[in-house]
């Protein structure tokens, strides 16, 4: 069990804000019916999708969660650029600061 700085315990099923009030409930409180057939095919891959896949094994994660993560990644990609030809640490640092 985790304990907040105030000493108030909270479980891994809770996310709390600075005042200790419950802000979000995890999927533990989500209704877990029979798994459905996944129709959505993610456009990206990575740790976020691995987490959704893992969570889906315990309690089916709806397609719209995968779509939301894809949309978030697309949004970030449209606002950022990356030049893989920059090989110096200084140059990479300057690129990251943009």
Per-residue pLDDT tens digits for 4-46? 444 454 444 444 444 444 434 444 567 787 888 999 999 999 9
Predicted confidence at residue 84, as pLDDT, reads 87
Predicted confidence at residue 28, as pLDDT, reads 52
67-96 pLDDT tens trace: 999 999 999 989 888 888 999 999 988 888
Cα→Cα distances 58→7, 16, 34, 53, 64, Å: 31, 23, 11, 9, 17
Tell me how crowded residue 5 is: count the other CB atoms within 10 A of its CB.
7
CA dihedral sign of residues 11, 17, 21, 26: negative
Q: Is the pTM of this model over 0.95?
A: no
Q: Where exactly are the structural domains of the chain?
A: 1-30, 33-79
Predicted confidence at residue 11, as pLDDT, reads 45
Residue 23 has phi, psi (to 5 degrees) of -100, -40
In angstroms, the CA 9 to CA 11 distance is 7
């Amino acid at each position: 069990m985790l304990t907040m700085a105030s000493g108030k315990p909270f479980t891994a099923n809770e996310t709390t804000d600075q005042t200790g009030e419950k802000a979000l409930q995890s999927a533990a409180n989500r209704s877990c019916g029979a798994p459905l057939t996944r129709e959505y095919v993610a456009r990206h891959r990575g740790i976020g999708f691995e987490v959704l896949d893992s969570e889906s094994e315990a309690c089916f994660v709806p397609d719209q969660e995968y779509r939301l993560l894809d949309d978030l990644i697309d949004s970030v990609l449209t606002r950022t650029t990356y030049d893989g030809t920059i090989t110096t640490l200084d140059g990479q640092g300057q690129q990251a600061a943009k």
